[in-house]
Amino acid sequence: MSSVLHHSIFNFTPNQEVYHGKVRDVYKIGEKIILVASDRISAFDHILPKAIPYKGQVLTAVAKHFLDASSHIVPNWLENVPHPNVAIGKACTPIKLEMVVRGYLAGHAWRTYNSGERLLCGVKMEEGLKEADPFPNPIITPATKAEEGHDEDISAEDILANGIVTKEVWETLCNYSLALFELGTKMAKEQGLILVDTKYEFGMYNGEVLLIDEVHTPDSSRYYIAEGYEERQSNGTKQTQLSKEFVREWLMEHGFQGKEGQIMPVMPNEFVDEITSRYIELHDKITGTTFVKSKTLHLENEIAEAVKAYL
């Protein structure tokens, strides 16, 4: 047993279905779904070897914060959080798309722009922008949700042409995504942050589109510190981020971008501790509350007992 959850193998009921994602382990029992947030961390669609203490708890807490705050504008799957690493709710049929909303030119969008491309997922990006500049209006740059390997950029035209969703569902996804981004932007501003970009995932439940998975967490979102943003842009200074982009940057500095033939570098313990600190910092900044570490040496036992008690 340990205080870090790298991988879970639970037998909640004999008839459960199990899927292990990059970060979450998903258990489906009838009409219920149990998301166990591990302490795994992924980048460039690869799971890094070392787990990050308390990361699963941070993701669960932040996701619950925003799912609760947004439920009046977008219906979601969540019903209960019986343990800091566990969320339980409606078992939806996932829509195989990631709805990526970008308010600023950063990350993948910036790398695409910097390469000379001006079209991303069929969306035209205007000339004359520099990294971290805001778009005139938030843009939606969807990606196909891959079971394994890399998610792929896709345009709205191709989504409809390939019948991934109907036109009606696509319009609902867009409306919900922009409404969530607007709310997330407002909540971030109240905490002195800028919501730069994020992704949303949706599913179908009894014919209704529901928001699923996590929302506005460090794994799904990128934030800038609002104070000094304009000055940094004017001076050409790199923006201060709260996201896991610094993990990607560390990997790139050590020669890894998830490409064939590249070897995953080993993260020193000091860097693992830094990642934990940054995740907790984001929790506190974006929620306006203080993260409380749930310390235990028997994490798996506590999770099993909490879920079985709820079921």
pLDDT at 150: 60
Q: CB within 8 A of 230, min separation 6: which ones?
A: none
Cα–Cα distances (Å) from 147 to 19, 45, 79, 116, in that order, read: 10, 11, 25, 30
Task: Judge whether residue 2 has pLDDT over 60.
Answer: no
With cut-offs at 50, 70 and 90, classify the pLDDT of residue 149: low
Domains and CATH numbers, the chain: 94-246 (3.30.470.20)
User: In the chain, which ranges are E strands?
Assistant: 17-20, 24-29, 32-37, 42-43, 46-47, 78-83, 86-90, 93-94, 97-104, 119-120, 123-124, 134-140, 143-144, 152-153, 193-205, 208-212, 221-225, 241-242
Nearest partner of 240 among 229, 248, 249, judged by Cα: 229
**Reported pTM:** 0.87
Q: Read off the pLDDT of residues 227-276 as tens digits, 9 standing for 90 and up.
A: 999 999 999 999 988 778 889 999 999 999 999 999 999 999 999 999 99
